[in-house]
Structure 1
Amino acid sequence: MLQYAVLAPFLTALIVPFLFRYIRAIHTGWLILPIPFGIFAYFLSQLTNISEGHTQLSGIEWVPSLGMNFSFYLDGLSLLFSLLISGIGTLVVLYSIFYLDKNEKLNNFYVFLYIFMGAMLGVVLSDNIYALYLFWELTSISSFLLIGYWYERQASRYGALKSMIITVLGGLSMLGGLILLSIITGTTSIREMIAASDTVLESPYFTGILVLILLGAFTKSAQFPFHIWLPDAMEAPTPVSAFLHSATMVKAGIYLTARLFLLFGGTDIFFVLVTGFGLLTLCWGSYMAVRQTDLKAILAFSTISQLGMIMTMLGFGTKEAAFAAVFHIFNHATFKGSLFMVAGIVDHETGTRDIRRLGGLMTLMPISATLAFFGAFSMAGVPLPIFNGFLSKEMFFQTSLDLETTSTLVASIAPFVPALAVFGSIFTFVYSMYFFFHTFTGETRGQLKVKPHEAPIGMLISPIVLVLFVVIVGLLPNMINEPILTPATAAIYGELPNKHIVFWHGFEPALYMSMIVVALGVILFLTRTKWQSVYNWIPGVLSANKTYDYLYNMQFRVSERTTRTYMTGSIRHYMLYILIFIIGATGVTLFVTDGFVIDTSDLAPISWPEVVVGLVMAIAAIATILMKNRIAAILVLGIVGYGLSLLFVFFRAPDLALTQLIVETVTVALFLLCFYHLPKLDTKKQPVGAKTLNIIVSVSVGVLVTLVAIASHSSKKFETIAHYFIKESHHLGGGNNVVNVILVDMRGLDTLFEITVLGLAALGIYAMIRLRDKGEMD
């Protein structure tokens, strides 16, 4: 059943263009809304089964001989992500129905969105590393298309390309690590790799594998310094931002790190890399969010900081930290999804997202303001029981204090972790207050394009649902504990957590940390204009975006300079490059594989007619290069081809002789047609150096082809398949002519496609001739 859940969005993407074209009376989104809802309902029905400790495995074979299969595995972790993908996906589709006008390119939007949805489900459900990688890169491609949906905007194209370059390069790194894992463990199944964790830990390639896989996870989840693609991805339509960059795509790296926790977790290098980069991302993202003036840019950097916090908790390596990470994954999806939708509503109803021009919207848009209040205060971790974000934030503080100092390295780093956690959380509080109060309170600071008014109820339903989860989970957190959080934590850590979530723990250090965050956060928010000049110093002129732009532009400059050195417009130069490469590559291969073998023990006798034909062919080939006229050279070259046909006759291969005759006739005719229209052959003398190089390359190619022909006859690395064809041709094909049986029966599809290619080439040539006769070609 799991494969059908993954397949359903892809099938929907196939029919969307037809729905958009032929059913214009209704918004396309309404027609396909039941698909993600049905997927969500299916995964919801699995909650009881998974919470009881059961798992589900299903799939289909792909290339089993290479260990490539579409095998899908459902446990607590994949169920959590599947519910987020399908549940929030349903809300996003509903939201987009009211956000996007029917005159938009809805066919493109929903095709890209459903491809992405299917790819994300494939990522979190795949048990095979090759299937995982396939879906992983498909998320990058589909998100590229979604971010660049408004492709007429330069910023959209820039953001789409940046996101794809960074995430695809990270995906290639991840693939390298996964392949090394499969070599070490002897399996392509992720479950079986985890079962062989001892073998992986003892491998000398452990560190390299971990770094390669974390590069993939860090780039996808926008960890510092790869975070730069996420703010530019905000050029996508708001429904895309709410789906990709708060609940799904950016969580793919989190998912990968969590899924492979049992392989790498608990080691010092895992702690240093994951916790270190997580804390750096948390602090930098929250610090930079306060600097932004675009509502979605604020939310983009807030997402970066929240992802850093989740990654940090996974790096801690404790069962309590894994539980807190799972809890915050859920909470972040609810409050951040609602905030993105509110930002889209503000943009939709006011015509701007510039926070410097907004203000005073609470009286004009009271429902949106209320939704933003719950989302922003939950994101800030305000210590009230109606905000689910506080519960997981407090767990974050507590786990930062309870680090297991299993080594000297961890013990030396552990004291700094709570301080950095508080620092990042202070700026989280500041940007949350900045987002809400500067948008909805005070007075309007600038001229708005349209008069603000509340959004239609259809656009409000999705953020209302998400905010209800914020409040309900805040008040009744154990409602999702046993069915969702506990199984997901068990899938990560390998043990069931004994965790009962409560709001009040007494006056403990974690509460004091929260109080420090609130107190300093309020002070920094109220005095923001006083200290904002600090951004002129940090980061100042330094920018990861500038580094990316420099490297990106340098790549084009180097490519252009390199291309100009060999793209001279001379066919002779191009042929030299190609032939020299072939000589070098093939020669080295022959040398390395001991291919220079000459075996004369199994040669057929040669009679004088064959010798005569061979000499005539050689003379004709040499004469071709001495001709002063192209037409004459082509005719003389034809002698070589027809001589080869005659040799086939002597060697009792009439079918090959017939084929060669037809090919040679067609080739000579086409050459004559083409060369007739070329200018006369340039007969001026070439420099001695050019002639010498031509002679060396020509002789080298001739010698190489001769050696390859001899080596292919003399070297027998494995048993020839010829005996199989001779033995089975009559039995399988019903014919005694082995060659015909091979071409018609055993390689029938190959032959069919070869004939198709020749037919298409003939049609193309005919079309060009006709167009030229009509004067329609230059």
Structure 2
Amino acid sequence: MSSLHLAIFSPFLMAILIPFIFKLFRKLHIGWFVLILPSILFLFFLSKIPLIKDGGVFKATLNWIPSFDINFVAYLDGLGLLFTLLITGIGSLVVLYSIFYLDKNKEKLHNFYVYLLLFMGAMLGVVLSDNLIVLYTFWELTSFSSFLLIGYWNTRERSRYGAQKSMLITVFGGLSMLGGFILLSIMTGSFSIHEIMLQSNTLISNEWFLPALILVLLGAFTKSAQFPFYIWLPDAMEAPTPVSAYLHSATMVKAGIYLVARLTPIFAFHGAWFWIISLIGIITMCWASFNAVKQTDLKGILAFSTVSQLGLIMSLLGLGSASLHYDFLSKNIYMGAIVAAVFHLINHATFKGSLFMVAGIVDHETGTRDIRKLGGLMYVMPITFTIAVVGTLSMAGLPPFNGFLSKEMFFTSVLNVLQMNIFQMETWGILFPILAWLGSVFTFIYSILLLLKTFTGKLQEEKLDKKPHEAPLGMLFSPIVLGALVIIFGFFPNILSRNILEPAVASILPNLLQENDRFAVHIRFWHGFNLELLMTIGVVVVGLLLYLTLKKWGNIYSIFPKRFTLNRFYEKGIDITEKGSYSFTRRLMNGSIRSYLIYIFIFFIGIVTFTLFKKDAIKMDTTNLAPIGIYEITLAVIIILGSLTILGAKSRLTSIIALGAVGYTVSLFYILFRAPDLALTQLVIETVSTALFLLAFYHLPQLSRKEEHIGFKLTNALISIGVGLVITIVAISAHSNKMFDSIAKYYIENTHDKAGGGNLVNVILVDFRGFDTMFEISVLGIAALGIYGMIKLRLSNQKKQQRRMADENK
């Protein structure tokens, strides 16, 4: 196993050890043990920067299902390195933060860290998998582990609701994405992302290309909370704050961003990719920032802010995909959108991670996150206030912080749209700078709202559940580190350019950058007085005016009827689904075994018949068959007559005797075909089963007169004839469509030499198919234990009832 695979699997191995470590070291906070792993992984991936920045990649293969082209190919390039550093770096800070945030005496910490490690390993698997099926496996594991983390406080109804909502929406997207991956495999004959990239120029003409594109984007949009699927993210804020800081700012919600970036070389040649991603992204950014202003919960504001920022990054990736449609000199212009997307992805992780931790600190030290109860905390929590100033101003896009730089690059990218002459951008392109500016105005408003309402004004201590005070240094350390990165990346952005940004962009646009070596990222703080700066000044001026007059225009949010909200549609859809499923299930599961058999047999007849005709598999070949003699015909007639006797018998005894006669006649067939062992086995089984039938019916109540004569049922007759015909056709066709030589010859030749036996049938059962036989015996043993348990339980209940009745009589 390579070091890369070990890095992916190590969180899962650590998760297995957590319960044992928790029992051994109960007096210590188990988070200290967990912290070791992400820290080591962060240093490991950090050490790969020299290799990756020079254009190298790290690739390792672990065989899984090679016959289906499904192997775990771990592939580390610039894009993968960026995400692994975020996953492990922010993960280390989150674990450290959680040590001081979660009380080891009140919380089930072993569960929390098991879930967190599962998620960390799953995210590493997503961003390092080259095989689409392996990627999908880890993708769904992120949904499962995030479900556990969001619902960590499972005694709270809102936690359970948020976990269920996120699971349903993201798993729906994941299954859609799987469909897209399968279509890609059908078109290319491979599940390897990089092998599919080599065929990207020819895929666009395939009829399955557009459906695959849409299905893949459904997966990306649901995971990254794009409009209209964003509704799960605000409800996911019921998770503990360390979970929100990790999943909902730096990692899980960016999995969709990663998927779009990774598959851009495959899909970007189609105009639908450009339009869907760019338009949905910019709408999400604008709509979520508008809704963030009306929130009163700190984490609620940050949740809608996260949705908005994800929309911004998504739109940049869509706009940047246009670079594949131009010559290199023009591509440099549109490639800037990809650079801006990658840069803002890093910036967002730093300032949003710190702000989520600040929200957790405020909640932890005051007992509330409601901004209507907060205020004046800058005097009692000066360090937290300083971190909040850095984070919120960066989120608002103000200098000298890193958010200002990537926001300016965002404005540049949407203004460059006006120069495009593809996809009808010369007419509709004006929408992008307008929506981008509007979204930035509301981003400024909610950023200032979060900062001022929480930390300035009068301290309302009477409304707080706790006496506010500054958080301990251990809880402050992680947001201080992230806040410091916000400042460092703001003043010295080019420390990322050569090491992180260029390799990541080269991974997103590999074909483009291979054509020319002039690509380089250089980020400048000052670009002079240009339109982007004027847009920023406009954002600040208009944003301040709207903030100061918020009470006058804030009633606009009450205009939207609640019954027309997306959450309302979701809840209504879930309600209709539940009621419909319940009604449908009650109709089908009516307690009648006959009904169940009818459903099964009708489905069986339909699907098998359809398959036979679809594959043109109906065939009858009598070559190499022995001739049918008088003895076989006689025995067949006896079996038919016996079967008809069973149907027409008026007593149970007659039916059992006729059934036994059928079984004994079958054993005569084995004698005719020179299989005395099978004949003996059949005779023994038939004798035992007949005896058991007689014993069972002896203890059953007598049939009533109404039950003695069961009327003819046409449905039963048609289904039985249909099943019989289908099975007969399948048997004849299977014999007539043999694709391989019979394995019987192998058994005959090797029974004595390899198995050391003389009885062919016994050797097959015990040696050649030994595991099969063992598992059959195991199944029978489990069934026997189940029956024994049921009988014992019934006898126990009977004894209890008898004792109770005896006590009542006394």
Task: Please indicate, yes or no, whether the TM-score normalized by the shorter chain is above 0.5.
Answer: yes
Give the CA deviation at 1:206: 2.7
- Superposition map of 1:448-487 within 5 A: 448-487=464-503
- Superposition map of 1:39-50 within 5 A: 39-50=41-52
- Identify which of 181, 184, 187 aligns with 1:181: 184
Aligned to 2:134: 131
**Which moves more between the two structures, 295-304 or 737-746?**
737-746
Aligned to 1:106: 109
**Which moves more between the two structures, 218-227 or 584-593?**
584-593
- Quickly say closer, same or farther: Cα 1:753–1:687, change in 2 above 3 A: closer
- Quickly say closer, same or farther: Cα 1:482–1:601, change in 2 above 3 A: closer
**Would the aligned equivalents of 2:498 and 2:521 in 1 still touch at CA under 8 Å?**
no
Give the CA deviation at 1:735: 4.3
Deviations 1:525-551 (A, max 9, x none): 111111111112247642111111111
- Superposition map of 1:567-716 within 5 A: 567-604=589-626, 614-627=636-649, 633-634=655-656, 636-661=658-683, 663-664=685-686, 680-681=702-703, 683-684=705-706, 691-716=713-738
Write the distance in 2 (CA, Å) between the matches of 1:197 and 1:522.
48
Deviations 1:447-487 (A, max 9, x none): 22221122222111111111111111111111222111111
**Which moves more between the two structures, 573-582 or 213-222?**
573-582
**Would the aligned equivalents of 1:628 and 1:681 in 2 still touch at CA under 8 Å?**
no
Write the distance in 2 (CA, Å) between the matches of 1:351 and 1:399.
42
**Would the aligned equivalents of 2:619 and 2:736 in 1 still touch at CA under 8 Å?**
yes
Give the CA deviation at 1:610: 5.7
- Quickly say closer, same or farther: Cα 1:410–1:619, change in 2 above 3 A: same
Aligned to 1:390: 404
Deviations 1:299-319 (A, max 9, x none): 110000000000111111221
Give the CA deviation at 1:117: 0.6
**Corresponding pairs, count:** 776
Give the CA deviation at 1:14: 1.0
**Would the aligned equivalents of 2:74 and 2:128 in 1 still touch at CA under 8 Å?**
yes
**Which moves more between the two structures, 358-367 or 610-619?**
610-619
**Which moves more between the two structures, 672-681 or 402-411?**
672-681
Aligned to 2:353: 337
- Identify which of 140, 143, 150 aligns with 2:143: 140
Write the distance in 1 (CA, Å) between the matches of 2:367 and 2:690.
67
Aligned to 2:63: 61
Deviations 1:100-149 (A, max 9, x none): 22232222211111111111000000001111111111111111111111
1:506 is matched by which residue type in structure 2? Answer: G
1:438 is matched by which residue type in structure 2? Answer: K
Write the distance in 2 (CA, Å) between the matches of 1:587 and 1:164.
38
Deviations 1:2-21 (A, max 9, x none): 10110000111111122223
Deviations 1:130-169 (A, max 9, x none): 1111111111111111111112222112111111111111
Give the CA deviation at 1:96: 1.3
Match of 2:71, SS state, is strand
**Would the aligned equivalents of 2:204 and 2:269 in 1 still touch at CA under 8 Å?**
no
- Quickly say closer, same or farther: Cα 1:637–1:770, change in 2 above 3 A: farther
Aligned to 1:253: 256
* CA RMSD across the alignment: 2.5
Deviations 1:753-773 (A, max 9, x none): 112112222222233333333
**Which moves more between the two structures, 2-11 or 567-576?**
567-576
Structure 1: give runs of 5+ residues left out of the alignment: none
Match of 1:60, SS state, is strand
**Would the aligned equivalents of 2:501 and 2:521 in 1 still touch at CA under 8 Å?**
no
Q: In the alignment, does 2:117 pair up with 1:95? A: no
Match of 1:502, SS state, is coil
Give the CA deviation at 1:606: 5.7
- Quickly say closer, same or farther: Cα 1:764–1:634, change in 2 above 3 A: farther
- Identify which of 412, 415, 418 aligns with 1:401: 415
Match of 1:684, SS state, is helix
Write the distance in 2 (CA, Å) between the matches of 1:119 and 1:598.
51
- Superposition map of 1:375-524 within 5 A: 375-382=391-398, 384-385=399-400, 387-403=401-417, 404-407=419-422, 409-445=424-460, 447-494=463-510, 495=513, 497-524=519-546
Give the CA deviation at 1:326: 0.5
- Identify which of 749, 754, 757 aligns with 2:771: 749
**Would the aligned equivalents of 2:271 and 2:423 in 1 still touch at CA under 8 Å?**
no
Write the distance in 2 (CA, Å) between the matches of 1:667 and 1:94.
67
Match of 1:320, SS state, is helix
Write the distance in 1 (CA, Å) between the matches of 2:134 and 2:791.
47
Write the distance in 2 (CA, Å) between the matches of 1:456 and 1:772.
60
- Quickly say closer, same or farther: Cα 1:662–1:48, change in 2 above 3 A: farther
Write the distance in 2 (CA, Å) between the matches of 1:764 and 1:611.
44
- Quickly say closer, same or farther: Cα 1:26–1:692, change in 2 above 3 A: same
Write the distance in 1 (CA, Å) between the matches of 2:693 and 2:38.
58
- Quickly say closer, same or farther: Cα 1:649–1:457, change in 2 above 3 A: farther
**Which moves more between the two structures, 65-74 or 738-747?**
738-747
Deviations 1:71-97 (A, max 9, x none): 010111100000000111111111111
**Which moves more between the two structures, 559-568 or 610-619?**
610-619
Write the distance in 1 (CA, Å) between the matches of 2:188 and 2:612.
33
Q: TM-score with structure 2 length normalisation?
A: 0.91
- Identify which of 372, 375, 397 aligns with 2:388: 372
**Would the aligned equivalents of 2:289 and 2:442 in 1 still touch at CA under 8 Å?**
yes
Match of 1:770, SS state, is helix
Q: TM-score with structure 1 length normalisation?
A: 0.94
Write the distance in 1 (CA, Å) between the matches of 2:167 and 2:585.
24
Write the distance in 2 (CA, Å) between the matches of 1:325 and 1:63.
36
Aligned to 2:290: 287
**Would the aligned equivalents of 2:650 and 2:708 in 1 still touch at CA under 8 Å?**
no
- Quickly say closer, same or farther: Cα 1:659–1:123, change in 2 above 3 A: farther
Give the CA deviation at 1:631: 6.8
Aligned to 2:559: 537
- Quickly say closer, same or farther: Cα 1:678–1:297, change in 2 above 3 A: farther
- Quickly say closer, same or farther: Cα 1:506–1:235, change in 2 above 3 A: same
- Identify which of 76, 79, 82 aligns with 2:78: 76
**Which moves more between the two structures, 438-447 or 2-11?**
438-447
- Quickly say closer, same or farther: Cα 1:51–1:526, change in 2 above 3 A: same
**Would the aligned equivalents of 2:237 and 2:300 in 1 still touch at CA under 8 Å?**
yes
**Would the aligned equivalents of 2:562 and 2:568 in 1 still touch at CA under 8 Å?**
no
Percent identical among aligned pairs is: 55
Match of 1:402, SS state, is helix
Deviations 1:50-73 (A, max 9, x none): 111111101201001101010010
Write the distance in 2 (CA, Å) between the matches of 1:454 and 1:707.
80
**Would the aligned equivalents of 2:204 and 2:270 in 1 still touch at CA under 8 Å?**
no
**Which moves more between the two structures, 226-235 or 748-757?**
748-757
- Identify which of 207, 223, 228 aligns with 1:225: 228
**Would the aligned equivalents of 1:262 and 1:492 in 2 still touch at CA under 8 Å?**
yes
1:32 is matched by which residue type in structure 2? Answer: V
Give the CA deviation at 1:358: 1.4
Write the distance in 1 (CA, Å) between the matches of 2:98 and 2:650.
70
Write the distance in 2 (CA, Å) between the matches of 1:247 and 1:389.
15
1:406 is matched by which residue type in structure 2? Answer: N
Deviations 1:742-761 (A, max 9, x none): 33333222222112112222
- Superposition map of 1:152-191 within 5 A: 152-191=155-194
Q: In the alignment, does 2:784 pair up with 1:762? A: yes
**Which moves more between the two structures, 325-334 or 198-207?**
198-207
Write the distance in 1 (CA, Å) between the matches of 2:723 and 2:738.
23
Q: In the alignment, does 2:300 pair up with 1:297? A: yes
**Would the aligned equivalents of 1:128 and 1:189 in 2 still touch at CA under 8 Å?**
yes
